[in-house]
């Protein structure tokens, strides 16, 4: 209680004496609140307890800030917010505070949704309680959950795959139409079907996709570091010498090291004047084969643009090589 009183007093002081805090409104704080929520989500994904504590504090600041704005408008204050939350929790837990029986988490959730819908008196229908500002993936999950609560669902979860295949076929059929809007709609239908499939199998699609995002980032970062290390080794041995070229050719044609030549090219160009300068009458020698752009199709991609001397630009080298390598090694 003392900590809460202290926080409210700090908020009062900031609102009175801080130029930035004085200027804030419900509208101006909205984007910051969303950002803080995502920062908390990141800390939760990382299981970073210190980070979770810090981000919870930042989010609590927004609760207190909005409450202060409500108080100034004569609409509500922090105590009203807390009391309303207590009333809601008691109302939606009749198995704890009433005589309703719910012995499993699923039964509790079913009661929660039924009470939530009853409280809203169906003013906006079953799906009216889904926040408009939710990210599309999360919103699709909530829509599916609320529709399922009314009995609108597949009888068996295995049946959802027929819908997924149907939507995938429609995407493929639309590929050649050149109608971007229709193609986008078909992709949306496919994503929605996949979200429902995840729901039926007890998988949170947002968490599942974020897990894959993190996996891809981890693998991509590893391949970048590996490529850079291999290219540095080639340069340290002397790219222009026989030993350097030998190592370079080994890297160039070794399975799993396709990204290394591109990184070597980048490091070589960033090093300044060519080490080949003066070794051949007439100026700079052309870069060795491993630093040049591969022939079209060699790594599953076409030839990329370059600088005009056989050395491709950065975005044409390391990223194209790494992407191809990641695709081959993804599984």
Q: What is the pLDDT of residues 268-311, one digit of tens each?
A: 444 444 433 444 444 444 443 433 344 444 433 444 444 444 44
Would you give the DSSP letter of residue 62?
Answer: H
* Predicted confidence (pLDDT) per residue in 188-215, tens digit: 999 999 999 999 999 999 889 988 998 9
**Sorting pLDDT into bands at 50, 70 and 90, what band is 6?**
very high
Phi, psi of 281 (to 5 degrees): -55, 135
Query: Considering 123, 140, 174, which residue would you say is the last residue of a domain?
Result: 123
Q: What is the pLDDT of residue 253?
A: 42
Question: Which among 273, 331, 328, 272 is positioned nearest to 300, based on CA atoms?
Answer: 328
Q: What is the pLDDT of residue 92?
A: 83
Is it the case that residue 115 has pLDDT exceeding 50? yes
74: CB partners within 8 A, 6+ apart = none
Same domain? For 67 and 116 the reply is: no
Tokens representing 63 are 């609760």
Question: Which among 303, 300, 321, 328 is positioned nearest to 226, based on CA atoms?
Answer: 321
Same domain? For 215 and 237 the reply is: yes
Tokens representing 272 are 């300044």
- With beta carbons less than 8 A apart as the criterion, state whether 251 and 230 touch: yes
* Predicted confidence (pLDDT) per residue in 126-169, tens digit: 887 788 888 899 999 999 998 998 889 999 999 999 999 999 99
Query: Considering 202, 230, 247, which residue would you say is the last residue of a domain?
Result: 202
Same domain? For 184 and 149 the reply is: yes
Which CATH number does the domain housing residue 157 bear? 1.10.287.1080
Q: How many domains does the chain have?
A: 4
Would you give the DSSP letter of residue 306?
Answer: B
Question: Which among 144, 148, 150, 135 is positioned nearest to 194, based on CA atoms?
Answer: 144
Same domain? For 245 and 165 the reply is: no
Same domain? For 226 and 304 the reply is: yes
pTM over 0.75: no
Same domain? For 61 and 110 the reply is: no
Same domain? For 152 and 242 the reply is: no
| Residue found by looking up tokens 């399975």 in the block | 255
* Predicted confidence (pLDDT) per residue in 48-92, tens digit: 999 999 999 999 999 999 999 999 999 999 999 999 999 989 988
Q: What is the pLDDT of residue 229?
A: 83
**Sorting pLDDT into bands at 50, 70 and 90, what band is 120?**
low
Same domain? For 196 and 221 the reply is: no
- With beta carbons less than 8 A apart as the criterion, state whether 237 and 231 touch: no
Would you give the DSSP letter of residue 280?
Answer: B
Q: What is the pLDDT of residue 149?
A: 83
CA distance linking residue 315 with residue 274, whole number of Å: 21
Same domain? For 321 and 271 the reply is: yes
Q: Which domain holds residue 20?
A: 2-91
CA distance linking residue 116 with residue 100, whole number of Å: 15
């Amino acid at each position: 209680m003392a900590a809460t009183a202290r926080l409210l007093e700090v908020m009062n002081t900031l609102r009175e004496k801080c130029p930035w805090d004085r200027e804030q409104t419900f509208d101006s704080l909205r984007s910051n609140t969303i950002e803080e929520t995502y920062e908390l989500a990141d800390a939760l994904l990382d299981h970073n307890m210190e980070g979770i504590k810090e981000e919870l504090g930042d989010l609590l600041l927004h609760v207190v800030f909005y409450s202060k704005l409500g108080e100034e408008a004569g609409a509500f204050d922090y105590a009203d917010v807390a009391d309303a939350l207590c009333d809601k929790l008691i109302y939606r837990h009749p198995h704890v505070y009433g005589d309703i029986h719910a012995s499993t988490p699923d039964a509790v959730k079913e009661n929660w949704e039924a009470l939530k819908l009853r409280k809203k008196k169906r003013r906006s229908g079953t799906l009216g309680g889904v926040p408009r500002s939710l990210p599309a993936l999360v919103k699709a999950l909530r829509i599916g959950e609320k529709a399922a609560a009314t009995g609108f669902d597949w009888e068996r979860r295995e049946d959802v795959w027929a819908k997924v295949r149907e939507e995938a076929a429609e995407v493929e059929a639309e590929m050649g139409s050149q109608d971007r809007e229709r193609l986008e709609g078909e992709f949306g239908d496919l994503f929605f079907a996949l979200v429902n499939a995840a729901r039926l199998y007890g998988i949170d699609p947002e968490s599942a996709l974020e897990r894959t995002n993190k996996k891809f980032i981890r693998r991509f970062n590893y391949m970048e570091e590996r490529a850079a290390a291999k290219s540095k080794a080639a340069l340290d041995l002397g790219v222009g010498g026989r030993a350097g070229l030998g190592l370079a050719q080994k890297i160039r044609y070794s399975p799993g090291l396709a990204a290394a030549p591109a990184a070597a090219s980048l490091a070589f160009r960033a090093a300044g004047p060519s080490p080949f300068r003066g070794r051949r009458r007439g100026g700079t020698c052309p870069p060795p084969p491993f630093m040049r752009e591969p022939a079209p199709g060699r790594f599953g991609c076409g030839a990329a643009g370059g600088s005009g001397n056989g050395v491709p630009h950065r975005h044409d080298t390391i990223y194209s090589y790494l992407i191809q390598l990641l695709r081959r090694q993804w599984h």
